[in-house]
Structure 1
Amino acid sequence: MSGKKILFLVLLVFIPVSIAAHYLGWGDLIVFITASLAIVPLAAWMGTATEEIAVVIGPTLGGLLNATFGNATELIIALVALQAGLVSVVKASITGSIIGNLLLVMGLSMFLGGLRYKEQTFQPVIARVNASSMNLAVIAILLPTAIKLSSQGIEEKILQNLSVAVAVVLILVYALTLLFSMKTHSYLYDVGMAETVTEETDVKEQPKIWLWVGVLLVCTLLIALESELLVGSLEVATSQLGLTALFTGVILVPIVGNAAEHATAVTVAMKNKMDLSVSVAVGSSMQIALFVAPFLVLAGWVFGQPMDLNFNPFELVAVVVSVLIANSISSDGKSNWLEGILLLAAYIVLGFAFYFLPVAKSLG
């Protein structure tokens, strides 16, 4: 058993600990920390269950399943926060997930992979397609904020309606990217897909499918429970740690939700499978931008919790910077350890900026 799997098994102990901390009144800070640690292995098991089911049901349905549950943990946490009215944290977590995947995950992957291999390669065609999709997402989330800043006294209802319209367009684009990657141009993605498929036959895997479906459902329910504990303790814990809502949403929450995925991307990069590593990192950012963010806008409309795409201007700056540098480095289909350092440095600088940015500590 690998060290990563052992670590995830050990972290499962924080599930009962976090529940006990909540009901026994150990304090919001303890609940926040233990719930965060409990979510990490649950996200890992959810990802494993999704991959195992995908092997059995075939590449098309499997790809759709992976695309749907790829960022399920972040989506569940965001939905719980949205229902609690913590819209600013939801928006910050969207920003943090995008820049975290593009800078932190891809940076670590290129750096650690580059230490073992002088130069690593991946398909530049896929990189360009992903770059174009991210450019569209940046434009989509930039426009509502630009309208808000340029039109004094604009009604929130107008921004909400614009955001809903943009959200529908982005979800349609996301559906078309799935059609492109799984059907019309699936051959471009065959390398990355092949790496995720085990060498076991369907006959051997078939009896396990209901077991993995059960694991997926249990993990989803437990993540929803831990998300409730995390969100419920967030405001007090953040205050006790001396952190702003913006820093918590941009840095801490995405790291918790993406930890397992981060580990996977780095691990495969160190095995010289950079195609798969880049696919995980950039694909996750693209899913957040084209599916999770617009889905949350529509969910907010249903919940009666107005959620629009009018982001903090500095959050937009961070996203634009992240997309530009990630696109620049990945455009040639090659990577080395120095390029990884550049991405990590950009993430650290942005992290410092979010930490020192003098914004209100309120989470509403």
Structure 2
Amino acid sequence: MSAHGPMPKSSWIFPALAVALFVVATALGLTFTPTVGGFLFAALLLAILFGTVFAAVHHAEMIAERIGEPYGTLLLTLAVTIIEVALIATIMLGDKPVPTLARDTVFAVVMIVCNGLVGICIFIGGLRYREQDFQVSGANLYLSVLFVMATITLIMPNYTLTAPGPIYSAAQLGFVSVVTLILYCVFLYTQTIRHRDYFINDATGDAGDGALLSNRMLALSIALLLLALLAVVLLAKKFSVVVDLTIARVGAPPAFAGVLVALLILLPESVAAISAARKNDLQKSINLALGSSLATIGLTIPAVAVAAYTLDKQLVLGLNTQEMVLLVLTFVLSMLTFGTGRTNILFGLVHMVVFAVFLFMVFVP
């Protein structure tokens, strides 16, 4: 979404509706139950929650465009991370312990982004423009950091000796959290300051040269961003009840909760990435897609680790063998796709097939 033009009504209506829904539901004791009224409540909750997430990301993007880099990118990343951590922590603290939720969500984000979203963007771009170009140097930086982060957080816990896998000991979890946070911060510095030209398409240039927000609009966006984030955090508990009962109702595996959380937090940036691919700006699509996966691991894992340690909750991070095969396949395929600087529809289709395999294996492991 652009920072230009009048502010859309949805950017303030949904946060206000979210707060109002929380107040009414808390006062009346409303919750999700497997009845007609319960399903209507769940549908209303999900619609308002999705709209509020879109509103939060919209205001973060508006403020980011005004304050410039690197603070703009950091603000947008922090906004999405707050939403993700709130949802994960709330579900983990529910009536039923879900020690694997953080792992399932992070893995789902990587698979959705690197296979589903990347595949759709490349396929759509290939259909409209035959081939699309992007900066190989920037893509390589994304992939190098992503591969290291994903390996030490999702694969390494299965092969440690201090604590039996797939769990890190407290010292190991603390060390990995600090390392991933440092690695992400250095990447952010590289992307926004040191080698910013690696992440800008020469054909489109830097898109931040339009009219900026006025001081009044900036203050309003900051207030609405805070309101939207507060609303998501407040509704996270209600959302967790819907997720738990839905999974139990349809007999879905626990990993499906991670997929739902990942889809919720990735939806706004996914829409923006697909729109950029349709406009022949695949570089922006890659920045949005791969940047989301890096932020998920680099910021969410340390935050959830702190929450788990503080609340004395077990945090299971190691993937099973089948999931590790899919992750390694994604690594190899991504290196081939982003190794030439040009894409076509076949690359996109292959990524979408891997994503389809991932979704199928969630339900039929």
Q: Aligning the two structures, in what range does the TM-score lie when normalised by the shorter sequence? A: 0.7 to 0.9
Deviates more, 1:347-356 or 1:291-300: 291-300
1:27 aligns with 2:33: yes
Where do residues 53-132 of structure 1 align in structure 2 (5 Å cutoff)?
53-84=63-94, 85-132=97-144
Q: Is the Cα contact below 8 Å between 1:103 and 1:347 reproduced in 2?
A: yes
**Cα offset for 1:104?**
1.0
1:146 is aligned, of 159, 164, 167, to 159
Amino acid at match of 1:211: L
CA distance, structure 2, for counterparts of residue 337 and residue 351 of structure 1: 21
Aligned partner of 1:304 in structure 2 is 312
Partner of 2:57: 47
Structure 1 residues 2-41: aligned runs within 5 Å: 15=18, 23-25=29-31, 27=33, 30=39, 31-41=41-51
Q: Map Cα deviations across residues 59-82 of structure 1 (whole Å, 9 max, x no partner).
A: 232232233234443232112223
Choose which of 352, 359, 364 in structure 2 pairs with 1:351. 359
Structure 1 residue matching 2:214: 3-state secondary structure: helix
CA distance in 2, matches of 1:248, 1:155: 22
- Preserved contact between residue 108 and residue 344 of structure 1 (Cα < 8 Å): yes
| Superposition map of 1:219-298 within 5 A | 219-249=228-258, 251-298=259-306
Deviation at 1:57, TM superposition (A): 1.6
In structure 2, what is the Cα distance between the partners aligned to 1:288 and 1:327? Answer: 20
Letter in 2 for 1:206: N
Residue 176 (structure 1) shift: 0.9
CA distance in 1, matches of 2:68, 2:31: 47
Counterparts of 2:131 and 2:280, CA distance in 1? 9
Q: 1:313 to 1:11 in 2, by over 3 A?
A: farther
CA distance 1:311–1:45, change in 2 (3 Å): same
- Distance in 2 (alpha carbons) for counterparts of 1:8 and 1:347: 31
Q: Hey, what does 2:5 align to over in structure 1?
A: none
Note closer, same or farther for the CA distance 1:218–1:342 as it changes in structure 2 (3 Å cut). Answer: same
Q: Percent identity?
A: 19
Deviations 1:115-163 (A, max 9, x none): 2111111100011111111121132021111237xx8x83998633312
Task: Give the letter for the 1:280 counterpart.
Answer: L
Larger CA deviation: 300-309 vs 346-355: 300-309
Letter in structure 2 aligned against 1:355: F
Q: What is the CA–CA distance in structure 1 between the aligned matches of 2:277 and 2:167, rounded to whole Å?
A: 45
1:322 correspondence with 2:330? yes
Q: Give me the TM-score of the superposition, normalised by structure 2.
A: 0.85
Distance apart, 1:32 and its partner CA: 4.6
Structure 2 residue identity aligned to 1:218? L
Count of residues paired in the alignment: 349
TM-aligned CA deviation for residue 10 of structure 1:
9.7
Q: Secondary structure at the match of 1:87?
A: coil
Q: CA deviation at 1:188?
A: 2.1
Q: CA deviation digits over 1:83-136, x for unaligned, max 9?
A: 334222222111111111111111111111222111111100011111111121
SS at match of 1:59: coil
State the partner residue of 2:175.
165
Deviation at 1:229, TM superposition (A): 0.7
Counterpart residue identity of residue 186, structure 1: R
Counterpart-to-counterpart distance in 2, 1:169 and 1:14: 39
User: Gaps (5+ residues) in structure 2?
Assistant: 3-7
- Taking only aligned residues, the RMSD between alpha carbons, in angstroms, comes to 3.1
The answer to whether the Cα contact below 8 Å between 2:132 and 2:282 also exists between their aligned partners in 1 is yes
Residues 166, 318 of structure 2: 8 Å contact kept: no
Contact 2:135 2:201 (C-alpha < 8 Å) held by counterparts: no
Q: State the distance in 2 between where 1:262 and 1:20 align.
A: 31
- Is residue 216 from structure 1 mapped to residue 225 from structure 2 by the alignment? yes
8 Å contact 1:8–1:40 — kept in the other structure?
Answer: no
Give the whole-Å Cα distance in 1 for the aligned partners of 2:166 and 2:360. Answer: 31
Q: Which amino acid aligns with 1:40?
A: F
Task: State the one-letter code of the partner of 1:182.
Answer: T
CA distance in 1, matches of 2:167, 2:15: 43
Secondary structure of 1:332's counterpart equals: coil
Write the letter of the residue equivalent to 1:100: I
How many Å separate the matches in 2 of 1:156 and 1:324? 24
Q: For the Cα contact (< 8 Å) 1:265–1:276, is it kept in 2?
A: yes
The CA deviation string for residues 239-275 of structure 1, in whole angstroms up to 9 with x for no partner, is: 11221111232x3221122111111110111011110
Q: 1:39 to 1:319 in 2, by over 3 A?
A: farther
Structure 2 match to 1:362: none
